């Protein structure tokens, strides 16, 4: 969108008439802040699209985050540490999982 000198002059004149000389600087600051925010959003969207559409142009990952060749990533599907699992309903065990704290309440 190209604005020439006459168009900018008309916009400023209309803004001066609508908002008045007292409110015009505040409105101009708010418009400037909104424009900066929109430009930042536009830059973020453009950068995100570039990383998705052109993954071969992206910079290499940091060396401290990369997995060395021959190094394996730990499997997270391992059982949690704790007591061994119960062998089934026919096996006696001392803990049924539902008993409360040991001791008596008086």
Q: How far is CA 101 from CA 3, 98, 105, in A?
A: 78, 10, 10
- The domain limits of the chain are 20-57
Average pLDDT, the chain: 76
Q: What is the pLDDT of residues 55-97, one digit of tens each?
A: 787 655 555 555 566 565 665 565 666 666 665 565 555 555 5
Place of tokens 């930042």: 40
Tokens at 1, concatenated: 């969108």
User: How confident is residue 38, by pLDDT bands cut at 50, 70 and 90?
Assistant: very high
């Amino acid at each position: 969108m190209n604005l020439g000198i006459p168009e900018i002059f008309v916009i400023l004149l209309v803004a001066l008439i609508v908002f008045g000389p007292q409110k015009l600087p505040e409105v101009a600051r708010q418009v400037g802040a909104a424009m900066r925010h929109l430009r930042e959003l536009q830059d973020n969207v453009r950068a995100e699209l570039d990383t998705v559409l052109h993954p071969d142009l992206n910079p290499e990952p940091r060396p401290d985050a990369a997995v060395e060749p021959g190094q394996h990533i730990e499997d997270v599907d391992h059982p949690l540490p704790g007591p061994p699992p119960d062998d089934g309903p026919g096996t006696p065990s001392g803990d049924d999982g539902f008993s409360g704290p040991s001791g008596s309440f008086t």
